[in-house]
């Protein structure tokens, strides 16, 4: 949540809409990733395709669709304008999930063929499990960066943090 103090919610919402993207797809305005995050993405075998890196870059600073939202309103407690956002890991995380489920299915078939495919898992004590766990941490870090990028979208509007 970002506190903008005593400013018009309309002003904050108009500014937010001018700099963030709603719906499917991505944008290139915020496509620069921190070097260490990009290096971790490239080094992890669950992101070994250009699509993952492209999604991480092009979806940065975007809100998405579905149950994702950006809300601006006035706090009943303080009377100040607040912004709250909710978004997930976007296409970047979805790509990891798809790849991870393929790997998990290989383990399920070998370890527990009677288990339903939707309940497949990757054992942590395997190289794949450790790599997948690290990939999840990368997605978490990317999601936090995306949240921060969107919260800063009030660019030019004084915030109280």
Biggest CA–CA distance in the chain, Å, is: 60
Q: Contacts from 124-133 at CB under 8 Å and sequence distance 24+?
A: 128/103, 131/44, 131/45, 131/46, 132/46, 132/100, 132/103
Q: Is 68 annotated as a binding residue?
A: yes
Task: Judge whether 59 is annotated as a binding position.
Answer: no
The two three-digit tokens of residue 111, written as one number: 């370890």
Residue 64, SS3 per DSSP: strand
Residue 5 to residue 26: CA distance in whole angstroms: 30
Instruction: Report helix, strand or coil for 79.
Output: coil
Q: Using CA atoms, how far apart are residues 160 and 2, in angstroms rounded to an integer? A: 7
H or E element in which residue 82 lies: strand 81-86
Q: What is the DSSP letter of 8?
A: -
Annotated binding site for Mn(2+): 68, 86
Annotated binding site: 68, 86
């Amino acid at each position: 949540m970002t506190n903008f103090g005593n400013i018009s919610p309309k002003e904050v919402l108009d500014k937010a809409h001018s700099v963030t993207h709603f719906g499917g797809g991505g944008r290139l305005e915020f496509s620069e990733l921190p070097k260490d995050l990009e290096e971790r993405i490239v080094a992890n075998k669950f992101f070994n395709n250009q699509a993952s890196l492209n999604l991480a870059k092009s979806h940065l600073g975007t809100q998405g669709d579905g149950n994702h939202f950006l809300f601006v309103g006035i706090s009943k407690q303080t009377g100040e304008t607040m912004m709250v956002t909710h978004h997930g890991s976007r296409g970047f995380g979805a790509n990891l999930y798809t790849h991870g489920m393929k790997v998990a299915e290989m383990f399920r078939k070998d370890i527990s063929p009677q288990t339903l495919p939707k309940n497949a898992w990757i054992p942590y004590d395997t190289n794949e499990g450790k790599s997948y766990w690290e990939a999840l941490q990368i997605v978490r870090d990317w999601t936090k960066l995306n949240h921060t990028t969107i919260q800063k979208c009030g660019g030019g509007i004084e915030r109280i943090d």
